[in-house]
Amino acid sequence: MGWGNIYKRRVKVFTLAIVIYLDYKALQQREKWTKKSKRDELWEKAHERNAKRVLNLIVKLEGLWVKLGQYLSTRADVLPPAYIRLLKQLQDSLPPRPLAEVCKTIRKELGKSMEDLFLNFDNVPLATASIAQVHRATLGDGKEVVVKVQHESIKEIILEDLKNAKSIVDWIAWAEPQYDFNPMIDEWCKEAPKELDFNNEAENTRRVSRNLGCTSDSDNNNINRVDVLIPEVIMSTEKVLVLEYMDGVRLNDSESLEALGVDKQRLVEEITRAYAHQIYVDGFFNGDPHPGNFLVTKAAPHRPVLLDFGLTKGLSSSMKQALAKMFLASAEGDHVALLSSFSEMGLKLRLDIPDQVMEISNVFFRTSTPANEALQNMKSLVEQRTKNMKVVQEKMKLNEKEVKRFNPIDAFPGDIIIFSRVINLLRGLSSTMNVRIVYVDIMRPFAESVLQCNVNRGPAFNAHWIHDTPVLSNIEDKLRKLLIELGNADKVLGIQVCAYKDGEVFIDTAAGALGRYDPRPVQPDSLFPIFSTSKGITAGMVHWLVDKGKLKLEDKVENIWPEFGSNGKDQIKVHHVLNHTSGLQNALAGITRENPLLMTDWDECLNCITKMAPETEPGREQLYHYLSFGWLCGGIMEHASRKKFQEILEEAIIRPLNIDGELYIGIPPGMSLDLCQLGVESRLATLTSDMDDIKKLSEVSNRPELPSSFQNQLQDVSVMASTLPAMFNALITRRAIIPAANGHCSARALARYYAALVDQGTIPPPHSSSTKPQLGSHPHIPKFPSLKPSKNRKEPNNAHKTDKNYTRVPTDDSSLNSVANSGFGKKQENVKLFSNSKIHEAFMGVGEYENLTLPGGQFGLGFKRSYSEDGELIGFGHSGMGGSTGYCDINNRFAIAVTLNKMNMGGVTAKVMQLVCSELGIPLPADFYRFTERINDNGSNIDIPLIN
């Protein structure tokens, strides 16, 4: 390989590239003057012509270019048929090297003559590929074998070609930064030389065979066992490998497969399963699954035979878990787990585009298509990429030149290069075989098995299942033991419990995992989806505005929100909305079926609410559909205050309580591009369902007090249990403002809120500094869009006149503003969220507020009333679908919050409440009694879900 030959190889490659480029450009011009009926024929001839040019040059050059040709020959999902048909010859049908050269290498490597080694040696090779050729032979003991012999000087050619390829990639990266393939070529340069030592291939073959259970000395691995064969290794040197002979036909020999009656679908599925096992279970996989590296046994059941383990890749345990999480997050549409998997594997992005990231991931693991659909498939992918780049251009404010040079990836880990190549090769393989493979279904069990040991086995197998924070009381110690029991019974995945008594924290526990596919431990500052528990937060915000003089409970809503008064809603007052008697219990209830994405559009949902017609006149008992309450209250608040919902939340609750970063209704975008270190998304727990518990919902779907829309949803439990977590795990939903459904908070933030409410709004003392990270240590500076002024807005009589869009209402305690920014290091005295001394009566709709609620109704003014078993009104709170709860007992100055990510009917929360209340000697709310051991009169034990 002198410089002359190197120069000639480069010239030939670049010359061919220019010729093909000009050929296609000329065809594009010629196409304009050609009849439509003739255009397809022109393109087919061009593809045939250029495919022959590529094949001829690769055969001449050999080396690395054969590898490239082999890869291209498998991409029937993206390349025209002419390229596939011609380039597949490179898989095993290259011109053979002279027999004399082969024998010379064998004698030199094995140290014996051909006669001493073999009884018989076939002069004509079975196959010739890029690095070696294979001959059939018979050993002296009569054993049938194949002998793989490396081409002479191929090592020098491969290494030189790698240098050339590296130079080309460097030039492309300089000219077109968005096409920087350096991470890929760097990984290739690291792994490809390993193929040149057949001792490595021999050991790799033995290892994969053991892992897949193909040998008698395998480790009895029964996890997702696969039905494939791998030849036994007889002997090896650096350049010669002797393997057991297996009688079969090539995977790309369509005629022979048809004659044998091979089930191609089952065959490719089994190959895919074998690779899923290698990747996810073993963390050690063959990186070169092109058709030339497979045989199919002639005898039924026609099992696949895996060959050529020269290029293999080993994965660390952490990388294997990250890849499994990436796959499962993609399958589940779980943006949070997907982003955390990227961080764990070292993949960094330059901008916050989670929806595009999920889309790209879904494309990567998409179902394969037969070859005849390749053209349409490629057009769709190109169109989608164009759309995505327009989004990037707008987000980054790039001009046309800049967007062409923009690379959205900041760091690309080498470990996933070969993994990506394997997935693409498998997709090309299925297209070549003309079958459709659903990768999500086939690979899921293998990917799940990687995470099971960390997540599904519970506290009995995880000494750190409960987060290592100080035990604050003997009750907390007993509670932790209960949580361990529930975890071992598979009733808890991740949970937080925080409780206050007499203004002091006496329980603060976090345990379990963030998600089914996210084994990271729950921390005190983890954010749980709390569903309709967030109604209590929304109701508190309404009372805060009433307390500050921005609206009155007796106000007609149309006087605050003029558009609302249409379609018979002119008699609805603020207190009707709060006490669940507005007649709008099913408002927008069908939104999740008709257009799920609409619920993420806050302004449009408010607009839709204004067009709704009430089902009854105000004042009749009802329960809202779980989405309606938030939009009704939110619209009232925004129009009364002239501020956005989230800005009111910051001012009324988050800043005074100093719970920054741990309570959101609509989470903000990640604060950092390294999302799993600093961003809000890194702390999000992922919802899943307790299917055994959720199935019981169908038994209560006919409850007359439930909204009719909700009854219908409960009847199809399996759909509800699968769709709700997926819908509310999606980042687009988490980032939306849905005040009655998508609150995200830690239990300690929610408990602190209720601890303030139980003391008529007095801010509790600082949370324990022994818990790290400290509550309120995630400050952020939110940016809120200005509220569009209403053209027809009627100013309420009590509105404060000001030149500003919104007047900050003065409080009766001038220290509130300083407290909002003081942090926990400064003393907070006599600070209250509310100045109304009868705020508890307002929350529960009793005393002077009794005339504003339904007599004997379940709800006060925005809060669910809580009664003791003997019927005494003891407190208020809200429970969310799935079990998360915020509650306080007024007389006993007790407040508690429970957050869960495994949705159930409330049984877990009830057991927590029962333990804590019994230990304190205070009454258990009657709502929770139905989850105890009591049996109904009819002898059945039917739980009614905690949904309010």
For the residues of 624-658, what is the DSSP string, one character each? --TTHHHHHHHHHHHHHHSS-HHHHHIIIIIHHHT
Q: Is 185 exposed, middle or buried (0-12, 13-18, 19+ CB in 10 A)?
A: buried
Is the CB of residue 87 less than 8 Å from the CB of residue 54? yes
Crossing angle of the two packed helices 907-920 and 474-488, in degrees rounded to 10: 160
Inter-axis angle of helices 534-547 and 628-641, to 10 degrees?
30
φ, ψ for residue 668, nearest 5 deg: -75, 160
CA-atom Rg of the chain in angstroms: 34
Q: What is the DSSP secondary structure assignment for residue 138, as one 8-state letter?
A: E
Question: DSSP label at 112?
Answer: S
Identity of the highest mean pLDDT range in 70-74, 417-421, 556-560: 556-560
pLDDT at 89: 77
- What is the rounded CA–CA span in Å between residue 833 and residue 547? 9
- Give dist(CA 139, CA 120) in Å, integer: 7
Mean of the per-residue pLDDT values for the chain?
Answer: 80
Helix (H/G/I), strand (E/B), else coil: 236: strand
- 146-160, 246-260, 580-594: which has the minimum mean pLDDT? 580-594
Nearest CA to 304 among 266, 278, 332, 267? 267
Instruction: Please give the distance of CA 588 from its chain centroid, rounded to a whole number.
Output: 28
Per-residue pLDDT at 241: 96
Task: Name the least confident of 642-646, 818-822, 872-876.
Answer: 818-822
- Answer with the residue of higher pLDDT: 273 or 388: 273
- The runs of H, that is alpha helices, within 830-947 are 839-844, 907-920
Q: By percentage, how much of the chain surpasses pLDDT 90? A: 41
User: Do 436 and 367 form a contact (C-beta atoms < 8 A)?
Assistant: yes
Could you give the residue numbers annotated as active site? 288
Q: Is the pLDDT of residue 195 over 70?
A: yes
Residue 585 banded pLDDT, cuts 50, 70, 90? confident
Q: How far apart are CA 426 and CA 377, in angstroms?
A: 16
Average pLDDT for 154-181: 71
Classified as helix, coil or strand, 49 is helix
With contact defined as beta carbons under 8 Å apart, do 132 and 94 qualify? no
Which residues, 6+ apart, have CB-to-CB distance to 909 below 8 Å?
Answer: 879, 883, 884, 885, 898, 900, 928, 946
The phi, psi pair for 686, rounded to 5°, reads -110, 130
Kindly report, residue by residue over 434-472, the tens digit of the pLDDT. 888 888 889 989 988 887 655 556 787 777 899 999 999
User: pLDDT at position 815, please?
Assistant: 33
Nearest-angstrom CA–CA distance, 426 and 432: 10
pLDDT, one tens digit per residue, over 35-49 is: 777 878 888 888 999
3-class DSSP state for residue 919?
Answer: helix
The per-residue pLDDT for 162 is 77
